[in-house]
Amino acid sequence: MIKLAPSILSADFARLLEDVKKVENAGCEYLHIDVMDGHFVPNITLGPGIVKSLRKDVNMVFDAHLMIENPDLYIKDFVDAGCDLIVVHQEACTHLHRTIQNIKSYGIKAGVALNPATPIESIKHVLSEVDMVLIMTVNPGFGGQSFIEGMVPKIEELKELIDSKGLSVDIQVDGGIKPSNVDKVVKAGANIIVAGSAIFNSEDIPTTVKLFRENASK
Ligand code: DX5
Ligand code: ZN
């Protein structure tokens, strides 16, 4: 069974709680929170204050995708704001193993994200330490970009590595995922599906969510 993680980047920020309640009521399990600092990626989004405000009214798994430099400086803030899972980028961490331990020291889940150009090899040494690996299927920074087809073999490579080590690590995919291509990434091994524009820009969110799940199990 897949889990769906709508990305709030594509929500209407002026009606954020209202939009988030729509995806929660449609049965989506994770809330994917894209944090961007204008340095690691060429865009700025939101910080822990907004996460804290949402936390009071939302029961989904809060999944913070930190696309920021020096993530260690902000991990405690996102923990205090109520995140259940914090994902840092391999490319942003000089001491990745230490950063993952830092996240886990708060008793929450830790994940590591890879830009399209970053090989699986670079996280082999932390695979047994993380709860989730996020394979970016677009270059991070913006919602609504096109899925990079070349990422499918990368998901397969990660899945094989996880299985060969007998680990249970979730594989999340993020960027350009739609009902029309979700089957491909799920077949390759992904089990947590981020979708921003495909869900929030849809006229009928419950139907789109249903379509994601139907197509994922094809
Ligand atoms: C991109 C973000 C994604 C993005 C996904 O940098 O990490 O989470 O919002 O949006 P869609 O599904 O529209 O590609
Ligand atoms: Zn994301």
Task: Point out the catalytic residue in the list 19, 34, 37, 63.
Answer: 34
- Are 61 and 27 within 8 A, CB to CB? no
Q: List, for residues 181-202, the tens digit of each pLDDT value.
A: 999 999 999 999 999 999 999 9
Each residue of 62-100: pLDDT tens digit? 999 999 999 999 999 999 999 999 999 999 999 999 999
Which residues form the domain of 74? 3-216
214 C-alpha to ligand 2 centroid (Å): 23
Single pTM value for the model: 0.98
Count CA atoms closer than 13 A to 160's CA, side-chain side: 9
Based on the number of CB atoms within 10 Å of its own CB, is 156 exposed (0-12), middle (13-18) or buried (19 or more)? middle
β-strands 132-136, 170-174 pairing = parallel
pLDDT tens digits, one per residue of 132-162: 999 999 999 999 999 999 999 999 999 999 9
* CATH at 195: 3.20.20.70
Total count of domains within the chain: 1
Kindly tell me if the per-residue pLDDT of 218 is higher than 90.
no
Identify the residue whose tokens are 């822990």. Answer: 48
Tell me the C-alpha distance between 80 and 166, whole Å.
Answer: 33
Residue 162 CA, ligand 1 centroid: distance in Å: 25
Of 11, 4, 7, 10, which Cα lies nearest the Cα of 28? 4
